[in-house]
Each structure stands twice: as C-alpha cells, then as structure tokens.
Amino acid sequence: MRCTATTHPGDQLRMSALRTETPTTTRSTFGLVVLLGAMAALGAVTIDLYLPSLPEVAEDLGTTHARTQLTITGVLVGSAIGQLVVGPLSDAFGRRKPAAVGFVVYVVACLLCTIAPNLPTLVAFRVLSGVGASAGAVIGMAVIRDLFTGPAAARLQSRLVLVIGVAPLFAPTVGGAIAEHTGWRPVLGLLVLAGLGVLVAVWRSLPETRRELCDSAAQARAETRAAPVVPERRRRVLRTFAGYGQLVRDGRFLALAAMPGLALATIMSYVSTSVFVLQDGFGLTGTGFAVFFALNGTALIGGTQLNAALVERFGSARLLRVGVLTAVVFGVVLAVVLMSGTDQLVLFAVPLYLLLLSLGLIMPNAVTLALEPYGDSAGAAAALVTALQSGVGGLVGVLVGVLGGDAHAMGYVVLGAVLINVVLLLSVWRTIRPRVHA
C-alpha cells in the first residue's frame, strides 16, 4: 500500500488509455470495470438483499414495520456522509487506501449487524455499513476519470451501470429465500462475505490511478527528510476538502451533477409507488409485479448500453441533450396517464419503459461532463455527484409520501423531475463542452 517508485499496473493502463482509445484498450479494461462495478454495487446490494427481511426484523426485535425502515434510511444517510469524506481523501492519499479502509469498515459493520440485540443498535451499525460502502461508488467514478476522458469515459460509465444494475435485480430474490429459511441475520452474514470478497479484490487488483500524487509526495519527503510528515498530510487533506469550495461555485458543474440525481428521483418515484400503482391500481398479482419490475430494470440497463454504443460517434453532449429532451416527452405523457386514472396497463407501461430507457442516456453523460474538468479533484467531484444522488433519492421518498404515495404522487414527481432537468440543460447548453481546470 506504500507509494514506491516502481512501475504499477495502473500506470501502464492509464498511459495506454490516454494514448489511444481502441477496441483492444476497451477489452483490456473489462476486468477493471467488473471490479469497479462490484465496488459500486455493494451499496445497492446492502439494501436490496436485506429488504425482504424487514418483516422478520420487526418481529424478532419487537418493533413496528415502520421503525424497521430506519435500517434502510440509515444506509442512505451513512452513504451520503461517507461519500463526502471518502472523495477528498482519495484525492489526497490515492484511490487504493481509502477504498481498502472503507471496505474494512463495511465488513466490520455488517458483522456487528449480525449480532445487534435491538433496533437502535442495528440502525447505528447499518449507518456505519453505509459509510463503508460509500467508498465503492465514489472511487469507481474517480478511477474512470483518472484513466479516461471524453467518449471513452462515458462508455466506461455506461458499462459500470450494467455491472451495478445486474446485482440488485437478483438480490431481493436471494435475500428473501435466505430470510425465509434461516432468518434475517444470515442475510447480513452474506453481506459480510460479499464485503470480504470485494476487499480482497481491491487489495489484489485495484490499480493506483493517482500514481503521480504518490510519486510527488515521495519526492517531497526525500527532499525534506527532516520535516515532519504529519503537517504535510494535514495540509494535503485540508487542500482536498477545500476543493468543495471551487465545485459549489461552479454553476455548470452543479447543473450537470444534479441531472443524475433528478434521473434517480424519477426512478425512485416509480419504485416507491410501484406496489400501489401496479397491484392496487392495475390489479397485477405478486408474480406479475415481479416480472413487470424486472422488465423495467432492463430498460435502464439497455439505455446505458445504447449510450455506450453511440457515445463514440455522437459524443456525450449530444446524447445528453437527446436523453433530457426524450425524457421530458415521455415523462409528460406518463404523468398525464397517471393523473387520468386509466386502467389500461399498456398506456402506463410503454411511456414508463421509454422514459427509463432515456434516463440511461442522461446519467453516464452528465457524470462524465461534470467530472471531466476536475482531474485533480475527481474524488471530491465524484463524491458531490453521488451525495446529490443519495440526497435527492432520500428526499423523493419523503415527498412521495407527503403527496399520498399513489399514482398521482408518482406523476407529480416525474413531471417535476423531467422539467427541472430541461431547465438545467438549457442553463449549460452553450457551455456543454468541458473546461479543463489545471
């Protein structure tokens, strides 16, 4: 884990990526994308694998179903806090160390969850597990920004969504089967094993893509051997956290960073109201609901892979415009359908699927364009993007509940999210090309 002067595989990968963007280079990054996807997916799996266990948790710990929802909210809160801390630390100390420490925290927290005696203790440890898991998404984005820019970065972001999206599709089914036969604590034990697997993979295979930082730090220490190391590290950490000031003053960055959060708001409004809308509104059975839900999961994944296929030819800026404008068309249609109270499932299913498909063009391209000018502070920039997504996702859950948690609530949120994204796009329309900060 120390910074040395020897050649690291990350250096070779980075240099080859910056020299050329060929099919051979793309194939050589397959293992890296799988690793980064596993790191980023761990946070979603922490929620989705455990979700079917909520009734058993409430019964075993003698509490209400509503209170057990705090074990879900706790992961989101911990993730939001952890992202804002891990990002700047990864800029200061490289990507590998914060990633490894984060997953150690995650494994320990999940292990403590398996022996939690009551709900408050379980919630506290779930918050801690969210803090640890937050390293995955932030560092995954930062590593891609370290290695790639332009269409190559957008393509890698799209592939990353594919890997991230597969695990949550199957996690609830696996978690439900385990909870039904063995109880909820073994489900959390499975998360311990998953965290250990990711930790070992990070330790063995994650390249240090902030290599130049390590080399310059080693050179500085060699030149000033008598100078204390602690003040140097303190200054480095303070400097990276101060990078948030530049980010929040950059209106272009904030607009692009908010777009994925609003796309997630659209998804969360559908997820949080899907049981009511599909089972109570359209009369689907439990099996029908599961099939419908899985099919719509393919829409978002399909949109991101379509983006990966097209971004080299058309560029992130153009595809982002297409995604936002397509989303507003189908978002408005879907909102009208929801508010009309129709009982025709096809009128709901078609615009919903096309809306989710268009979100696959928004999320990777907005992230790529937001991060591209901030190579030296990619960790902090990625942290702010992911924290905005977590914050917006949490607020949408509350907003949907306040609006009634029904089809009308979903329609209002979808309409608001797609319209705000259009406003944000118009605000950066003329400055959509990246401005690289030294």
Q: How far apart are CA 415 and CA 410, in angstroms?
A: 8
**Structure confidence at residue 244 (pLDDT):** 76
Class of domain 9-222: mainly alpha
Q: How far apart are CA 136 and CA 379, in angstroms?
A: 11
Lowest mean pLDDT, pick from 116-120, 335-339, 433-437: 433-437
Average pLDDT, the chain: 78
Residue with tokens 């640890």: 132
Note whether 13 and 109 are within 8 A (CB).
Answer: no
Q: For the chain, state the CA radius of gyration.
A: 22
**Structure confidence at residue 152 (pLDDT):** 76
Amino acid type, 55: P
**Structure confidence at residue 419 (pLDDT):** 94
- Mean pLDDT across the stretch 232-253? 73
* pTM for this predicted structure: 0.70
Q: How far apart are CA 194 and CA 161, in angstroms?
A: 19
Amino acid type, 155: R
According to DSSP, residue 275 is labeled I
Helices 286-314 and 251-274, packing angle to 10 deg: 160
| 329-343 residue pLDDT tens | 999 999 999 988 877
- Mean pLDDT across the stretch 310-338? 91
- Taking phi over 0 as left and psi of -120 to 50 as alpha, with beta for the rest, 437 belongs to beta
Share of the chain above pLDDT 90, in %: 21
3-state secondary structure of 436: coil
Angle at 268 between CA 65 and CA 398, to 5 degrees: 55
Residue 138: CB partners within 8 Å, gap ≥ 6?
Answer: 83, 86, 87, 90, 379, 382, 383, 386
| 179-216 residue pLDDT tens | 878 888 998 999 999 999 999 999 888 888 876 555 54
Q: How far apart are CA 33 and CA 235, in angstroms?
A: 33
Residue with tokens 């025709």: 344
Q: Which of 239, 409, 265, 416 is nearest to 338 (CA)?
A: 409
**Structure confidence at residue 353 (pLDDT):** 93
Residue with tokens 């303070």: 238
3-state secondary structure of 361: helix
Structure tokens at 12: 């070779």
What phi, psi does 175 have (nearest 5°)?
-65, -40
**How many C-beta atoms lie closer than 10 Å to residue 197's C-beta?**
14
Residue 154 CA: distances (Å) to CA of 68, 161, 190, 260, 362: 38, 11, 32, 13, 10
Note whether 308 and 152 are within 8 A (CB).
Answer: no
Q: Domain limits of the chain?
A: 9-222, 245-431
Residue 304: CB partners within 8 Å, gap ≥ 6?
Answer: 157, 158, 159, 161, 162, 165, 360, 363, 364
Q: Which residue has the higher pLDDT, 17 or 76?
A: 76
**Structure confidence at residue 107 (pLDDT):** 95
The superfamily (CATH) of domain 245-431 is MFS general substrate transporter like domains (1.20.1250.20)
Note whether 178 and 114 are within 8 A (CB).
Answer: no
Half-sphere exposure of 50 (CA within 13 A, CB side): 30
Whether 435 shows a pLDDT value over 60: the answer reads no
Same fold, 9-222 and 245-431: yes
Which residue stretches of 285-344 are H helix? 286-314, 316-340
Residue 36: CB partners within 8 Å, gap ≥ 6?
Answer: 136, 139, 140, 143, 144, 160, 163
- Mean pLDDT across the stretch 98-105? 92
Note whether 68 and 359 are within 8 A (CB).
Answer: no
Classify the C-alpha dihedral 320-326-330-335 as positive or negative. positive
Structure tokens at 38: 């596993």
As a whole number of angstroms, the longest Cα–Cα distance in the chain is: 76
**Structure confidence at residue 9 (pLDDT):** 45
Note whether 253 and 145 are within 8 A (CB).
Answer: no
**Structure confidence at residue 17 (pLDDT):** 45
